[in-house]
Amino acid sequence: MSTGKAILTLAIAGGLSWYFYGGVRRLADDMERQSYLEMAKKSSDRYAMAQRMEDWPTMCAEAKASQQIWLQAGREEEYRTWTKLGEVACSIATMPR
């Protein structure tokens, strides 16, 4: 077997091994995790903007959205943080003025 064929065979075998031993799943998990982080950042940015404007109903909604994103992502600490922020914002948003 020539050197070129040996290298090609090893490359194909390595690629198939990666594929069958979870490489694609890990790649998909990483992409999903990145997606959650991007969604959480956008929601957090919207929350911060509403906070600067003292828009309590929007803060309530964005805190709840962030809470759900972190729940889906399985990140308990962030979920708890946004749950507490949502409780405060929603209670103030529903106060009679």
Q: Which sequence spans correspond to the domains of the chain? A: 3-93
**Please, are residues 38 and 60 in contact by the beta-carbon 8 Å criterion?**
no
Question: Which has more confidence, 73 or 1?
Answer: 73
Distances (CA, A) of 92 to 35, 60, 96: 31, 9, 9
Task: Select from 1.10.3210, 1.10.10, 2.40.480, 1.20.58 the CATH code of 3-93.
Answer: 1.20.58
Most trustworthy range by pLDDT among 12-16, 18-22, 25-29, 34-38:
34-38
**Please, are residues 82 and 67 in contact by the beta-carbon 8 Å criterion?**
yes
Distances (CA, A) of 32 to 25, 28, 84: 10, 6, 25
Q: Which of 80, 94, 77, 90 is nearest to 47 (CA)?
A: 90
pLDDT tens track for 37-93:
888 889 889 999 999 999 999 999 999 999 999 998 888 999 999 999 999 999 999
Supply the pLDDT for residue 16. Answer: 62
**Please, are residues 40 and 66 in contact by the beta-carbon 8 Å criterion?**
yes
